[in-house]
Structure 1
């Protein structure tokens, strides 16, 4: 079963001088660039009633119409993978993602992903671009994600991400003791030397992360973070940039360092924590159909709680030793 897509928009003035393919990529970002390019070439996109080339420049005020058909996803199969569903209705699914679950198939992870699980749980989601996935969490980051069950819901949720009306809050354990909260407002782009990493680069996209201290530990800090933007690895990159990389972060945290004065058990606990200590704890958004503000919050996962408890005990034991 296929779904008809009918979209119409007037090109805003701020996109003056940009090519058609660039304009629709911004205005219809819920669809992949590849899909939009194919629609232009197949004649499903018109500008003021005419078919134009993808590289045609626009000058604002033009009326773009899209009349296309979305076929079900055939490249990926549904798989019976357990999902921790926090909330679900006919428009959205709120998932509490565990560590180790890749969100979208990629090289090295063609199966066993959240997308495969969603296709099994709700087969009709195959009609929605990217199986309704609106935003992602890194494989080893846990916590809340919203998934759209219809194209209309996905379009609305993408708009909320873009206008920053969707609220996302995280908890993390950072290496080092912070003096207080703050804000990191630094652009993020692909690292110039290591293509596996992102970094703070002048040519990157704007990225804003707010953070506040929840608990100061002996050599770590338990923090709460709020995103304004959603760049790849944003929290991990920003925290490393201000010299407070996340505990367990294999990519941005540098080589493992032994904790001075810590017990052998504490050292083993920290060394055994093989993922970044980052959890998407709170999510709030405007429901795409009812326009009601909705909010969800989930507990820290067990491994995060155990690490935090061990670090708190280490802080207590170290203070106690100094008292004698």
Structure 2
């Protein structure tokens, strides 16, 4: 089985000088760059009505037209992995992701992912690119994600993400005592020396995080973050850049810091906290079909609640 995908985009002047495949990856963000490159080579993605090559430059103003057949994606096996479904209808699926669940298969995680679980839960998602996934959470980040159940819904949600009209709010517990909230507008890209990490870098993509203090402890802060953009590891990178890395972050957390005089129990919890303390608590978007704004909330998971309880007790005890 297959379905025909038709989409059009006009290249903005700000993309002048990019390769066609690079521009296409930005404009048709619900498809991978490799898939788009294959469509360009096959003539399924044209420029002003004419075929082109992936490496051709764009100058701004060109009309890109995509007409392609999407085949049933059988690369990934459906797997019966439990999902906590918060909402489901004919167009979208909202789930509350647990810690430890990888979103998409990749090197080192060929299966056992959210994508495999989605294909089992809803076999028709095999006809939607990436099984309807439109945004990701890191493996050990918990909380809310929206999945599109149709190609039209996926396109609409991706457009909302690009327009920054999807609201995503996170709870985080950081090392250090923040004096106040604020906003950080700092581009994020690959770390210049460690390609497995992200970093604030002048050559990165725009990234904006708004943050406010929920509760202060002796040496830590419960922070609430709202994303305008959705760069890889954005909150983790931005808070580390501000010198308030997340508790338990194995990549950006730095050396473990224990509050002086802390109880043995708190020290053990801080040493053994198994993941970055980050939870996607609130998600809001416009429904792709009936156009009503939908808002979902997820309570803090037990491990973060326990951590906050001990940090609060420590703060009150040492006053």
Q: TM-score, normalised by structure 1?
A: 0.94
- Structure 1 residue 6 displacement after superposition: 1.7
CA contact (8 A) 2:175 2:221 kept: yes
2:283 match: secondary structure:
strand
Distance (whole Å) between structure 1 residues aligned to residue 317 and residue 14 of structure 2: 59
Q: TM-score, normalised by structure 2?
A: 0.96
Aligned to 1:103: 103
Distance (whole Å) between structure 1 residues aligned to residue 33 and residue 197 of structure 2: 23
Aligned to 1:216: 216
Aligned to 2:82: 82
2:50 match: secondary structure:
coil
> Please, which runs of 5 or more residues in structure 2 have no aligned partner?
none
Distance (whole Å) between structure 2 residues aligned to residue 64 and residue 171 of structure 1: 40
> Please, which runs of 5 or more residues in structure 1 have no aligned partner?
320-324
1:270 match: secondary structure:
helix
Task: State how many pairs are aligned.
Answer: 319
Aligned to 2:120: 120
Distance 1:292 1:177, change over 3 A: same
Structure with greater Cα Rg: 1
Distance (whole Å) between structure 1 residues aligned to residue 64 and residue 291 of structure 2: 27
2:154 match: secondary structure:
helix
CA contact (8 A) 1:250 1:274 kept: no
Aligned to 2:93: 93
Distance (whole Å) between structure 2 residues aligned to residue 51 and residue 134 of structure 1: 28
Distance (whole Å) between structure 2 residues aligned to residue 227 and residue 180 of structure 1: 18
- Structure 1 residue 63 displacement after superposition: 3.3
Structural mapping, 1:303-318, within 5 Å: 303-318=303-318
Aligned to 1:244: 244
| Structure 1 outlier segments of 4+, above 4 Å | none
Distance (whole Å) between structure 2 residues aligned to residue 66 and residue 138 of structure 1: 31
Aligned to 1:322: none
CA contact (8 A) 1:40 1:53 kept: yes
Distance (whole Å) between structure 1 residues aligned to residue 224 and residue 292 of structure 2: 25
